[in-house]
Structure 1
Amino acid sequence: MKLLEKTLERSELEDMLLSELQNVGREIGIPGVSKLTKRDLILAILKEQAETGGLLFRRGILDILPDGYGLLRNNGYLQGEGDIYVSQSQISRFNLRQGDQVTGKV
């Protein structure tokens, strides 16, 4: 796996043509780029960037607690060790709501 010179943000990737995304995917070692849809390729690039940059890429269902902060739950709304804290400011900033499926770098 090869690191890119700079981290590409989702908005930058969405503005690229599929052929440009395929080139980026090949450059960082994503297999089968020609078979991926644009959306799937963008997600694969973001995931690869996060993992090679030492970050983890996680997904979960947002459970907003009475105190205003939230937790990303991996197993429906059941509490678990893999729950990820989401601050009240992030919930407000991204206009998140109870039950939203959220994916991001942690």
Structure 2
Amino acid sequence: MNLSELKKKPTAELFDIAQSMGVEGISRVRKQDIIFGMLKTHAKSGEDIYGDGVLEILQDGFGFLRSQSSNYIAGADDIYVSPSQI
């Protein structure tokens, strides 16, 4: 599952996909919450999730993938990258 591709889809399409995946509690939530529910369900099944962006490594040794869609500014949608993955 590719996070960047999900972000490009309209909310109605995401809602339909989430329902077909069996994601619960998405009847009246934001697009971001639908995507999070989908990713959570997908991850529980042990499948990979892909994202892209520019890696910003912080002094503590971990980092975040910053996305072009948010002009590489820190935000709630950034992907955490652990020190062991860097």
TM-score interval for Structure 1 and Structure 2 normalised by the shorter chain: 0.5 to 0.7
Q: TM-score, normalised by structure 2?
A: 0.56
Matched position secondary structure for 2:27 = helix
Q: Using the aligned pairs only, state the percent identity.
A: 27
Shift of 1:50: 0.8
Q: Does 1:45 align with 2:6?
A: no
- 2-side partners of 1:50 and 1:19: how far apart? 22
Unaligned stretches of 5+ residues in structure 2: 49-53, 65-78, 82-86
From the superposition, tell whether residues 95 and 12 of structure 1 become closer, same or farther in structure 2 (CA, over 3 Å). Answer: same
Whichever residue aligns with residue 42 of structure 1, its letter is: I
Shift of 1:24: 1.0
Whichever residue aligns with residue 32 of structure 1, its letter is: G
- 2-side partners of 1:103 and 1:34: how far apart? 27
Shift of 1:54: 5.8
RMSD: 2.6
Q: When you count helix as a share of all residues, which structure comes out higher?
A: 2
Q: When you count strand as a share of all residues, which structure comes out higher?
A: 1
